């Protein structure tokens, strides 16, 4: 759970003192490298207030001990309490910030056009983000692949009247090949599908690519779809004068 601090971490300036309680009831002053920079729930920064409740956890191991400090976010629409964890070097009584809990996933905010094209895509993408944040990478990868399939198929169905049944049951690669005309989006979507297939299949072909490459390609695919949808709505709103 606790990683040793890096050299830079050990050299960081310790500028705040906190009074922390040991299991045996003793109070110790520990110098931490600052209050948490952001609330782990609303992900906004520098408005956390210390509750003054700080505990040194368990016995020191190899000269290090865990410190947990309880803070409260003071943004009115959040106000959550959270725990910031520090790793303390006992000999120096210096604590380095590790993380704050509970970690709420910062959901990717998709444009309205994408939300309108495929609400399912948005929902599955957010669930995949949650899985990824919980380090469930074996679940997150196939989740992103599924999200991509919904995005592309929902978009194609919306733009090709009467094809719903056909597209729904078609392989994603064939959908991209048969129904997408723009060469750029076709190239990006096809690559996203290749990487996505790697996340769901037993044999991994793109060994030097990972979930971040897949997410990057999903972003590009969504950007292209967004531009396509926005361009169409502008043309619809401003038809050529006859």
- Contact window for Zn ion (CB under 5 A) among 26-34, 37-45, 149-157, 220-228: 37-45
Q: Which is nearer to Zn ion, 41 or 225 (CB)?
A: 41
Q: Which is nearer to Zn ion, 85 or 221 (CB)?
A: 85
d(CA 59, CA 101): 21
Residue 76 CB, shortest distance to Zn ion, in Å, is 10
| Chosen residue from 12, 16, 53, 78 binding Zn ion by CB under 5 A | 78
Residue 165 CB, shortest distance to Zn ion, in Å, is 46
Tell which residue, 61, 67, 85, has the closest CA to residue 27: 67
Q: Which is nearer to Zn ion, 44 or 174 (CB)?
A: 44
Residue 111 CB, shortest distance to Zn ion, in Å, is 25
Is residue 42 involved in binding Zn ion (CB under 5 A)?
yes
Is the C-alpha dihedral spanning 98, 72, 91, 14 positive or negative? positive
How far CA 21 is from CA of 66, 68, 178, 215, in Å, comes to 12, 10, 66, 43
| Contact (Cβ atoms closer than 8 angstroms) between residue 3 and residue 65 | no
Is residue 48 involved in binding Zn ion (CB under 5 A)?
no
Is residue 39 involved in binding Zn ion (CB under 5 A)?
yes
DSSP H helical ranges for 64-179: 112-117, 119-133, 137-159, 164-169, 172-179
Q: Which is nearer to Zn ion, 73 or 114 (CB)?
A: 73
| Chosen residue from 18, 66, 73, 157 binding Zn ion by CB under 5 A | 73
Is residue 237 classed exposed, middle or buried when 0-12, 13-18 and 19+ CB atoms within 10 A define those classes?
exposed
The rounded Cα 238 to chain-centroid distance in angstroms is 38
For residues 142 to 171, the per-residue mask of contacts with Zn ion, x marking binding by CB under 5 A and - elsewhere, is ------------------------------
- Contact window for Zn ion (CB under 5 A) among 23-31, 76-84, 181-189, 233-241: 76-84
- Contact window for Zn ion (CB under 5 A) among 62-70, 77-85, 133-141, 195-203: 77-85
| Contact (Cβ atoms closer than 8 angstroms) between residue 23 and residue 58 | yes
Residue 82 CB, shortest distance to Zn ion, in Å, is 8
Structure tokens at 127: 């669930």
Pairing of strands 48-61, 64-73: antiparallel
Left if phi > 0, otherwise alpha if psi is -120 to 50, otherwise beta: which for 79? left
- Contact window for Zn ion (CB under 5 A) among 70-78, 128-136, 191-199, 221-229: 70-78
In the complex, which residues of this chain contact Zn ion (CB under 5 A)? 39, 41-42, 73, 78
């Amino acid at each position: 759970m606790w990683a040793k601090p890096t050299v830079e971490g050990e050299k960081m300036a310790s500028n705040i003192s906190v009074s922390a309680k040991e299991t045996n009831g003793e109070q110790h002053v520990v110098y931490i490298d600052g209050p948490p920079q952001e609330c782990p729930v609303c992900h906004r920064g520098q408005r956390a207030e210390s509750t003054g409740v700080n505990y040194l956890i368990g016995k020191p191991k190899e000269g290090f001990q865990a410190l947990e400090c309880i803070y409260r976010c003071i943004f009115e629409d959040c106000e959550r309490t959270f725990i910031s964890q520090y790793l303390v070097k006992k000999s120096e009584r210096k604590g380095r910030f590790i993380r704050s809990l509970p970690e709420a996933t910062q959901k990717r905010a998709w444009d309205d056009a994408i939300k309108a094209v495929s609400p399912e895509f948005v929902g599955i993408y957010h669930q995949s983000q949650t899985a990824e944040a919980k380090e469930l990478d074996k679940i997150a990868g196939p989740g992103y692949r599924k999200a991509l399939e919904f995005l592309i198929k929902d978009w194609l169905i919306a733009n090709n009247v009467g094809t719903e049944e056909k597209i729904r049951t078609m392989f994603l690669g064939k959908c991209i090949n048969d129904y997408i005309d723009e060469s750029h989006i076709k190239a990006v979507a096809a690559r996203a599908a290749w990487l996505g297939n790697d996340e769901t299949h037993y044999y991994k072909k793109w060994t030097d690519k990972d979930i971040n490459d897949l997410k990057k390609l999903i972003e590009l695919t969504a950007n292209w779809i967004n531009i396509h949808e926005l361009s169409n709505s502008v043309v619809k709103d401003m038809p050529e004068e006859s």
